[in-house]
Structure 1
Amino acid sequence: MTGSARVDTAQLMELLSVSLGVYYGDFTVAAASENLTASQGKALTVLRRGPAAMRALATTLTCDASNMTGIIDRLEKRGLVRREPAPDDRRVKTVVLTAEGERVTDAIRAKMHATQEGLGRLDDQERDRLYALLERVFAARTDA
């Protein structure tokens, strides 16, 4: 964008769409390099923030609870996550990332070359500003 032309919401949504397409394409390739599906990789990424109940994980990943069970079963079989009873309700299962799961999640992020290169073009101030703007735009989603 040059001059004083204003960017409208549709243009921002289009750029976000393109950006997310690059990000998720990059993510999918990186997850596949660790022999994971994109859904399995996304589950690990969410769990990197902390343990989550199965139902909350399904909600966050916008998938059916039965599908989430299959995803977690496969991750557990590989030793990337474990299920634990929730401390406040033993009927509820909480999914926890294992040390190997953390390693794999970090490996996926490290292999996201297009995303890393794009973010690498920003200086520290620009990174801080982008972070603040994205946090503000998606505040309702990050407060959870």
Structure 2
Amino acid sequence: MLEEELHYLLMRAFHVSNREVAARVRQDGLLPGQPKVLEYLDEHDECTQKQLGEGCALDKSSITGLLARMDQQGLVRRQTAADDRRVSLVCLTEEGRKQAVRVRQGCAEVDARAWDGIPPERRAAFLQTMQDIIANLQNKGGKDDK
């Protein structure tokens, strides 16, 4: 049964959560993909485009297009790294910071709804299990890769 398959439940959970977050941020004029970029930059400001893509699980062409639109909207800016002029860093603008706060508030509301009625110890165990699952799936030397 699909309701007992991890890949299916992960897909369903992402879809439902993503739809709720998208509905909240659409009111602020954000496009798909932009909320996670804002949220990531809010914690990792002045990062490279490559770091941003890895942190948001986006490929190079997707992140390039997103950043171009976000730059036009005045949400991000690019600046040359002080220690290496070949490196370009992506930073939030003041408007980007304001939008990031709204995104985080919307995500917190969705998370609160998702966690409703689930005790803290089960939350902690679930989060640790999810981190373990991600690590297992990212592990290139796993037993299935041999």
Q: 1:121 aligns to what?
A: 117
SS in 2 for 1:90: coil
How far residue 84 of structure 1 moved from its aligned partner, in angstroms, is: 1.8
Matched, 1:132 2:120: no
How far residue 82 of structure 1 moved from its aligned partner, in angstroms, is: 2.1
Task: Report how many residues are paired.
Answer: 134
Q: 1:86 aligns to what?
A: 81
Q: 1:54 aligns to what?
A: 49
Distance (whole Å) between structure 1 residues aligned to residue 130 and residue 94 of structure 2: 29
> Percent same amino acid at aligned positions?
24
- Equivalence map 1:64-103=2 (5 Å): 64-65=60-61, 67-103=62-98
Between 1 and 2, higher relative CO (CA 8 Å, sep ≥ 6) is seen in 1
Residues 15-54 of structure 1: per-residue CA shift (max 9 Å, x gap)? 1111011111112222212101112222212222303212
How far residue 93 of structure 1 moved from its aligned partner, in angstroms, is: 0.9
Distance (whole Å) between structure 1 residues aligned to residue 83 and residue 133 of structure 2: 33
How far residue 68 of structure 1 moved from its aligned partner, in angstroms, is: 2.7
TM-score (norm 1): 0.73
Q: 1:21 aligns to what?
A: 15
Residues 58-79 of structure 1: per-residue CA shift (max 9 Å, x gap)? 34442333x4333223323333
- From 104, 108, 114, the equivalent of 2:103 is 108
Gaps of 5+ in 1: 1-6
Distance (whole Å) between structure 2 residues aligned to residue 93 and residue 47 of structure 1: 14
How well do the aligned residues superpose, as a CA RMSD in angstroms? Answer: 2.9
Residues 101 and 117 of structure 1: CA distance in aligned 2, closer, same or farther (over 3 Å): same
Gaps of 5+ in 2: 139-146
Distance (whole Å) between structure 1 residues aligned to residue 133 and residue 87 of structure 2: 32
TM-score (norm 2): 0.72
